[in-house]
Amino acid sequence: MKSIVLDPDQRRVRQSFRRGLASYHDHAAAQAQIARGLVTALRAHVSGPIDRAFEFGCGTGHLTEHLRKRFDITWMMANDLVPECRDAMKDTVDAFVAGPIETLSIPTNLNLICSASAVQWIPDQAQLMQRLSDHLSPGGWLALSGFGSGQFRELQALGSSAAAPGYCDAEDWSAKTPDVLDILHLKQDPIVMWFDGALPLLRHLRKTGVNGQSSARWSRSKLVDFERRYAGQFGQKGKLPLTYDPVWMIAQKR
């Protein structure tokens, strides 16, 4: 098997998601809701069968599962940076390929390219959008969700280093999208989760692997200080909020 070449950031992201993989599916409630929303948005535009589909950053298959339930897809390939995702996908897709989407050999003549909650990990999204567009057939669909600049706004305000490199608000997607793609649906709508304290909140981040860029190590005193500052700035009725800031986009190639 060919070995996959990764840069240090990709290695760190892969390690973080690999560590959270066993717990990801059951703890990623926001991502499950986002994936469902993406499929519902696509369904508003596409009702017929889809011949060739490709998904990147599939994780444990929240999006794949809904897509396969709600569309008649003849052939589907999935990708993730983490090779172990293959196991979760083996009954859901026809093919799986591991590696970073930035340099992966993507199948051609696709009728659908999709991805939920993964594109924020790609630093050069304009380049990615051009590549994706080049692999779509005319009339083919692009269904994407990422996160906007309000993602984990509480952590950002408290100076966390957990941010992904590519948070992008709804209004900024069109500048990154090639002209040959018509954007037909664009929505940004935050989801707030509430936690009983800093520890369950940090556990949630760890179990879903989403703090891939964070290098923080937590001593007892650091945790106490973090909780005090978090509660002081954002706490309500003894609970701590964590804001997800999803952006959904559906586009069609001319």
Ligand X SMILES: C[S@@+](CC[C@H](N)C(=O)[O-])C[C@H]1O[C@@H](n2cnc3c(N)ncnc32)[C@H](O)[C@@H]1O
Q: Binding residues for ligand X, per CB under 6 A?
A: 10, 13, 17, 28, 31, 35, 56-59, 62-63, 79-82, 100-102, 116-118, 121-122, 210
Of 135 and 239, which has the nearer Cβ to ligand X? 135
Nearer to ligand X, 161 or 233 (CB): 161
Q: Which is nearer to ligand X, 71 or 121 (CB)?
A: 121
Closest approach, Cβ 115 to ligand X, in A, equals 6
How far apart, in Å, are the Cα atoms of 144 and each of 6, 141, 225?
Answer: 23, 10, 37
Closest approach, Cβ 254 to ligand X, in A, equals 27
Please check whether residue 212 is in contact with residue 17, taking contact to mean a CB–CB distance below 8 angstroms: yes
Measured between alpha carbons, how far is 4 from 99 in angstroms, rounded to an integer? 6
Query: What whole-number distance in Å separates Cα of residue 58 and Cα of residue 81?
Result: 9
Least Å from the CB of residue 116 to ligand X:
4
Nearer to ligand X, 2 or 220 (CB): 2
Closest approach of ligand X to the CB of residue 250, in Å: 16
Give the residue with the Cβ less far from ligand X, 98 or 180.
98
Nearer to ligand X, 150 or 235 (CB): 150
Smallest distance from the beta carbon of 111 to ligand X, in angstroms?
19
**Distance in Å, CB of 218 to ligand X, minimum:** 22
- Using the minimum distance from each CB to ligand X, give the nearer residue, 17 or 248: 17
Closest CB 33 distance from ligand X, rounded Å? 10
